[in-house]
């Protein structure tokens, strides 16, 4: 029975992503966060480097600093079809797969700090140069022992370092581009109690680019569009130790009587391309600014069926038993926001609000994947406040409230009859997982 449980654990996969819009953050500065993350047609601040470098043409010389506190509440419950059969062998197997059936467990993953910084430098009327750093994603879970009698711990962080330029050939048109350096960290551990080795945190460098344009169609109406290339990363290199999967795989004396060797695994994990279109309306002599974006993210190209994948024949014996299969679909994201300048104190106060929605790209029937990396947040309500300390210094406060969302499903377990030496009925793993959270963000902008 132990061999059977180990083989079952080896046959299932864990795959990444817990965040807001799939794997991506909803916004890239406190000000941008307060308007639902919209900004492809309007330059709020140096977040333009990520959203649309062409809109830097509307900015003067400035530097922006921001940070966010990002706690998330994630929980799950699970069971499996071997429990409740009344057959002792199957009941024993079911208890190994899920120790606490239908009990809700909450992740102990700590709150994630999110930094961002940006600098914009004008060169005459036509040219702008920008450089910055933004957190693109920061996710993970840390569950007490339950699945396969083991804890589940996962993490993924990605940071972007854009270097951008904008050009204003005519007053009604600006174009821009950025080179996107990237750095990511990833680690995961699942099934340690049944002999699956953890994958210690590994890092990877990547690169990509963004192209954008903005057209001022009318004095009060503008349109923007961007194409963001894939971010191509070097493979994550995990140094995996010996595994001891309870005798379910061949013996290797170098790793003990029931052990198999580890090694260095190379996981290719890129981020996908996206297209975004946006609109800006400036009303009431500029006192009211309304923005809206629609974004398409091609998650299926990098996190679709059987992705990400181990490359160069590097998968160890244990990883060959549980290849990644996130099976994500592509995602449409809708963002809308508004800013109103209060007619008091020399127009120093600005109030902001917005909404952000993107249907979760996950496949509900990837049960274990969605427990380990629940990228299921969909609806976000945003609010914010800005205060001009002086003509050159402004403070921005915002909060993004991720409304609770729950995903349930049932994933098929593999046919283990051959390993059991007897016919087994088809098995399933059923689960329900939910996520909610909020950010508290503070930023300071200095223009000069």
Domains and CATH numbers, the chain: 2-253+273-447 (2.40.160.60)
Residue-level length of the chain: 448
Q: How far apart are CA 291 and CA 295, in angstroms?
A: 13
Q: 319 vs 184, which has greater pLDDT?
A: 184
- Report the share of the chain in percent with pLDDT over 90: 70
- Report the share of the chain in percent with pLDDT over 70: 90
Place of tokens 């001022």: 216
176: number of Cβ within 10 Å: 26
Is the per-residue pLDDT at 20 higher than 80?
A: no
Place of tokens 């900004």: 39
88-97 and 2-11 helices, crossing angle to 10°: 40
Return mean pLDDT, the chain: 89
Q: How far is CA 106 from the centre of its chain?
A: 19
Q: What is the pLDDT of residue 116?
A: 92
Q: Which of 123, 115, 24, 29 is nearest to 382 (CA)?
A: 29
- Per-residue pLDDT band at 319 (split at 50, 70, 90): confident
Q: How far is CA 347 from the centre of its chain?
A: 37
Is the per-residue pLDDT at 1 higher than 60?
A: no
For 381-431, what is each residue's pLDDT tens digit?
999 999 999 999 999 999 999 999 999 999 887 665 654 556 778 889 999
Q: 251 vs 309, which has greater pLDDT?
A: 309
Q: What is the pLDDT of residue 195?
A: 74
Is the per-residue pLDDT at 76 higher than 50?
A: yes
3-class SS at 103? Answer: coil
C-alpha dihedral, 108 to 243 to 14 to 107, nearest 10°: -10
Q: pTM to 2 decimals? A: 0.91
177: number of Cβ within 10 Å: 19
17-26, 81-90, 154-163, 383-392: least confident range: 17-26
Place of tokens 């009211």: 288
124-138, 195-209, 234-248, 296-310: least confident range: 234-248
> Do 97 and 80 touch, CB atoms closer than 8 A?
yes
Render 6-70 in DSSP notation, one character per residue: HHHHHHS------SSBTTB-S-SSHHHHHTTT--SSS--STTHHHH-GGGGGG--SEEEEEEEEE
> Do 110 and 138 touch, CB atoms closer than 8 A?
no
- Per-residue pLDDT band at 16 (split at 50, 70, 90): very low
Q: How far apart are CA 179 and CA 318, in angstroms?
A: 38
Q: Which of 360, 331, 47 is nearest to 210 (CA)?
A: 47
Q: What is the number of alpha carbons within 13 Å of residue 255 lying toward its C-beta?
A: 21
Q: What is the number of alpha carbons within 13 Å of residue 98 lying toward its C-beta?
A: 27
Cβ neighbors of 358 (< 8 A, separation 6 or more) are 20, 21, 22, 295, 297, 331, 332, 333, 334, 378
CA torsion sign for 167, 56, 343, 278 is positive
Is the per-residue pLDDT at 5 higher than 50?
A: no
Q: What is the pLDDT of residue 434?
A: 95
Token representation of residue 290 = 């309304």
3-class SS at 249? Answer: coil
Is the per-residue pLDDT at 292 higher than 50?
A: yes
Is the per-residue pLDDT at 252 higher than 70?
A: no
- Per-residue pLDDT band at 6 (split at 50, 70, 90): very low
Is the per-residue pLDDT at 202 higher than 50?
A: yes
Place of tokens 């022992």: 145
3-class SS at 198? Answer: coil
Average pLDDT over residues 330-336: 98
CA torsion sign for 282, 290, 129, 333 is negative
> Which element (helix H / strand E) includes 337?
strand 331-341
Q: What is the pLDDT of residue 9?
A: 36
Place of tokens 């299932």: 12
> Do 165 and 178 touch, CB atoms closer than 8 A?
yes
> Do 94 and 78 touch, CB atoms closer than 8 A?
no
Is the per-residue pLDDT at 7 higher than 90?
A: no
Is the per-residue pLDDT at 11 higher than 60?
A: no
- Is the backbone peptide bond immediately before 82 cis, with ω within 30 degrees of 0? no
Q: What is the pLDDT of residue 253?
A: 62
Q: How far apart are CA 233 and CA 236, in angstroms?
A: 8
For 31-72, what is each residue's pLDDT tens digit?
999 999 999 999 999 999 999 999 999 999 999 999 988 788
Q: How far apart are CA 349 and CA 341, in angstroms?
A: 6
- Per-residue pLDDT band at 13 (split at 50, 70, 90): very low
Q: How far apart are CA 264 and CA 211, in angstroms?
A: 36
> Which element (helix H / strand E) includes 78?
strand 72-80
Q: What is the pLDDT of residue 224?
A: 98
For 254-278, what is each residue's pLDDT tens digit?
676 657 788 899 999 999 999 999 9
> Do 176 and 164 touch, CB atoms closer than 8 A?
yes
Q: What is the pLDDT of residue 446?
A: 97
Per DSSP, helices labelled H in 361-416 are 367-372
Inter-CA distances, 188 with 15, 197, 200, 385, 402, Å: 9, 10, 7, 38, 25
Is the per-residue pLDDT at 226 higher than 70?
A: yes
Is the per-residue pLDDT at 8 higher than 80?
A: no
Is the per-residue pLDDT at 438 higher than 60?
A: yes
> Do 135 and 182 touch, CB atoms closer than 8 A?
no
């Amino acid at each position: 029975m132990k061999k059977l449980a180990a083989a079952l654990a080896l046959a299932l996969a864990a795959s990444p992503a817990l965040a807001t819009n799939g794997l991506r953050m909803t916004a890239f500065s406190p000000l941008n966060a307060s308007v639902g993350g919209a900004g492809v047609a309007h330059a709020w601040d140096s977040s333009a480097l990520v959203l649309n470098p062409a809109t830097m043409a509307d900015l003067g010389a400035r530097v922006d600093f921001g940070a966010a506190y990002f706690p998330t509440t994630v929980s799950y419950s699970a069971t499996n079809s071997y429990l409740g059969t009344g057959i002792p062998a199957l009941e024993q197997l079911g208890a190994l797969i899920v120790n606490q059936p239908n009990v809700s467990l909450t992740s102990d993953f700590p709150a994630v700090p999110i930094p961002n910084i940006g600098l914009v430098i004008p060169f005459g009327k036509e040219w702008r140069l920008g450089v910055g750093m933004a957190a693109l994603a920061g996710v993970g879970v840390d569950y007490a022992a339950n699945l396969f009698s083991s804890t589940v711990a996962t993490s993924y962080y990605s940071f972007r370092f854009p270097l951008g330029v904008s050009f204003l050939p005519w007053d009604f048109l600006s174009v821009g581009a950025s080179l996107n350096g990237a750095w990511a960290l990833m680690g995961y551990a699942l099934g340690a109690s049944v002999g699956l080795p953890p994958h210690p945190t590994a890092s990877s460098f990547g690169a990509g680019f963004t192209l954008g344009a903005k057209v001022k169609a009318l004095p009060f109406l503008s349109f923007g569009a961007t194409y963001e290339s894939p971010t191509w990363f070097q493979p994550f290199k995990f140094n995996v130790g010996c595994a001891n999967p309870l005798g379910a795989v061949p013996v290797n004396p170098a790793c003990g009587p029931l052990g198999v060797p580890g090694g260095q695994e190379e996981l290719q994990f890129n981020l996908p391309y996206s297209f975004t279109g946006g609109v800006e309306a400036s009303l009431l002599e500029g006192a009211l600014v309304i923005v809206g974006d629609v974004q398409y993210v091609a998650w299926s190209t990098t996190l679709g069926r059987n992705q990400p994948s181990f490359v160069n024949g590097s998968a160890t014996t244990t990883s060959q038993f549980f290849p990644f299969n996130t099976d994500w679909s592509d995602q449409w994201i809708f963002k809308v926001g508004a800013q109103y300048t209060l007619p008091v104190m020399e127009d120093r106060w600005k109030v902001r609000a917005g909404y952000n929605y993107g249907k979760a790209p996950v496949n509900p029937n990837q049960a274990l994947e969605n427990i380990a990396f629940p990228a299921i947040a969909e609806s976000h309500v945003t609010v914010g406040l800005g205060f001009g300390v002086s003509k050159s210094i402004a403070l921005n406060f915002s909060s993004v409230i991720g409304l609770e969302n729950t995903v349930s499903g049932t994933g098929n377990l593999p046919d283990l009859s051959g390993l059991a030496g007897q016919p087994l009925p088809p098995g399933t793993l059923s689960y329900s997982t939910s996520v909610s959270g909020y950010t508290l963000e503070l930023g300071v902008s200095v223009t000069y």
